[in-house]
Structure 1
């Protein structure tokens, strides 16, 4: 298979704006944890999530860990507290309608422009998806989208995932975030701040491994460079092992409706954890809905197995071989630039709340995410020797 630059330009307005997921590194509100007694189940679960020493006697007494997702939702900073102001395409939105909560491998996060769960998961009615009762902005309708099929032909006037509308930060995504540093109990990293990831709307974000850090007290500009892979339709008739990629209907995933290499990789990892540890991590969908959620005693096994599946030379289950790249794919490469916030007059120009300069410097982050170019060229997959070339060679 030959990979070349597509001679035809792609407009950024033909594709969705990237899904944007943001997590506070804080894993639990200090005020909430202080209400738990040391020998309580709640305190023990919190210590496990914080990767701290745990009372094993109490942990072993917990027989059912299936409510861990709900527990994380209860003790974490809600999206309404993290997101103070949200603006997209020049329009100010209610942040809790633009973003929805999602449990990831980095705890509770807030995500924008992901495809609706009913178009992503096969078992989307599972109560594990805590954001199913999410309300979209008024007039917006969730629609199906994929890198291969694109948007449906009969699009409503307003829809999710939203398309890109133009270039520059004035029509991009603008956010003001509050880290609430005084409520920090434990961090998912060695710092105070946020993790952010720009990703395909079809994919659950891999926050722990590839999320980028955002610091409070800074204004950060994130310029987006899309990277798109397209494949000629006739490549379907070439053996998949020869072309080394998969079209979206060529491999049926158990948890996800649409095939992507990332979604396949999650399933491959979860299958290995289930086989070796007898459970699945709390932050991933379940194959059938009745699998056991990993307990404290199984956590080390699950984490060790997860890392093993990431190793390229792992001979037991090489997920990179099982999960070929998508023949049609869309990803977004960010470039970040940051500078300290100006303290004087900030609260008057941007948010109504009376925020002191000290609080601003320690807690507030401003983020602007935007495209810098209107058009770009995708990569095009085609056969190395076409029919015309083959006939010429035989003459």
Structure 2
């Protein structure tokens, strides 16, 4: 199984004796001699100027690059739909004492009523002092293989609702260096009036417009992952070990489906001729992305042991080969938001039409009112006046006739 995970050449005779690969995920997570636990990877954690036990902030998850330690994400109870075992207890998803997990999304934001301490947590402020500070140990002597061609760490800043796509967009951190990761947040918003437009016109999706089988909230990344899973089941008849299983009878892909899995993975990423998951999964109308800027410098061995109180066994050579210090922080206490709206609404359309007509014909909307008055209201008004005049004239004639008749009768009398 280790050879399969490391893409090593496997004896087909031995591999054929394995008939059930469903325990591959447990093999990775439960046997700590296979994957480096978060408690050994993370030696020091500080967030918002407060020191934490790293096991309170980080918990392990399985990704396409192996075991990872994730920080400040929405707990699985709010991410996945109620299918299968997605309950997140204190052992699987630890939180600092007194911290309550809450539901969050880019479109809805946080709930109206929040506890005193909650997760996902807000950034305490800007700058390195109030950011996330980590000290990592790569333990390179314990390596059997790597998901890349190097020895070190991978890091990814992502939407708290998404499963990290480490293989494709993960960034590298080098041991023996201090890395400062300065974050620029970018948010995409949309006016609610866009809901009335068809999806092809706005080319984005609101919450609830595209229902995912796996996830409660739509994001393009989650949609891509689910699309890949469906294609994988259709053509290979299995799913990979790092995918969340919502299909009760789905089997885990073995070594014999490895070539099929890789072929489907690449095809799902292609966006030509209207095919591929990229054409099915549109961007969300509300989205959150993080743009990191990396600044790297070698560690100074002088005074490092005293400052961080490392074990005596970790000498200078070990430190330069294995240790890494990372500072992740926001550059500013504001972010840029791109708000999507109609390019030409009803008001703009009428304004443009009026402007064009006025330009070419000396026409204005006041002229429209005049035309309506002269073509409709004035004739009606004249007709009413005419009818009223005739009625008044008839009344006067009748009155005069009655007066003359009265005078005749008086004379006769």
Coarse TM-score class (shorter-chain normalised): 0.7 to 0.9
Please list every run of 5 or more consecutive structure 1 residues that lacks an aligned counterpart in the other structure: 1-44
Instruction: Pick the structure with more strand per residue.
Output: 1
CA distance in structure 1 between the partners assigned to 2:12 and 2:61 by the alignment: 29
CA distance in structure 2 between the partners assigned to 1:111 and 1:96 by the alignment: 11
| CA apart distance, 1:290 | 2.8
- Does residue 245 of structure 2 align to residue 286 of structure 1? yes
User: Which residue of 214, 217, 222 corresponds with 1:255?
Assistant: 214
**Which whole-Å deviations, capped at 9, do the CAs of 1:295-324 have from their partners, x for residues lacking one?**
111121111110111122266x42112111
Aligned to 2:120: 161
Runs of 4+ in 1 over 3 A off after TM superposition: 127-133
CA distance in structure 2 between the partners assigned to 1:387 and 1:173 by the alignment: 48
Aligned to 2:8: 52
Contact 1:69 1:128 in 2 (8 A): no
Local SS of the residue matching 1:379: strand
- Does residue 172 of structure 2 align to residue 213 of structure 1? yes
Local SS of the residue matching 1:291: coil
Aligned to 1:151: 110
CA distance in structure 2 between the partners assigned to 1:393 and 1:206 by the alignment: 46
| CA apart distance, 1:127 | 6.9
Aligned to 1:8: none
Contact 2:185 2:336 in 1 (8 A): no
Greater RCO (CA < 8 Å, at least 6 residues apart): 1
- Does residue 312 of structure 2 align to residue 320 of structure 1? no
| CA apart distance, 1:176 | 0.1
Q: How do 1:232-247 and structure 2 match up within 5 A?
A: 232-247=191-206
Contact 1:85 1:351 in 2 (8 A): no
User: Which residue of 82, 96, 113 corresponds with 2:72?
Assistant: 113
Contact 1:100 1:131 in 2 (8 A): no
Contact 2:126 2:330 in 1 (8 A): yes
Aligned to 1:33: none
CA distance in structure 2 between the partners assigned to 1:296 and 1:158 by the alignment: 45
Aligned to 1:359: 318
Please list every run of 5 or more consecutive structure 2 residues that lacks an aligned counterpart in the other structure: 355-413
Contact 1:102 1:131 in 2 (8 A): no
CA distance in structure 2 between the partners assigned to 1:134 and 1:202 by the alignment: 15
- Does residue 22 of structure 2 align to residue 66 of structure 1? yes
CA distance in structure 1 between the partners assigned to 2:71 and 2:311 by the alignment: 24
Aligned to 1:181: 140
Q: How do 1:1-395 and structure 2 match up within 5 A?
A: 45-73=1-29, 74=31, 75-123=34-82, 125-126=84-85, 133-313=92-272, 317-354=275-312, 355-395=314-354
User: Greater CA radius of gyration, 1 or 2?
Assistant: 2
CA distance in structure 2 between the partners assigned to 1:210 and 1:68 by the alignment: 24
Contact 1:168 1:371 in 2 (8 A): yes
| CA apart distance, 1:332 | 0.1
Count, aligned residues: 350
Instruction: Pick the structure with more helix per residue.
Output: 2
Local SS of the residue matching 2:92: coil
Distance 1:258 1:161, change over 3 A: same
Distance 1:349 1:107, change over 3 A: same
TM-score normalised by structure 1 residue count: 0.86
TM-score normalised by structure 2 residue count: 0.82
CA RMSD of aligned residues (A): 1.6
| CA apart distance, 1:128 | 10
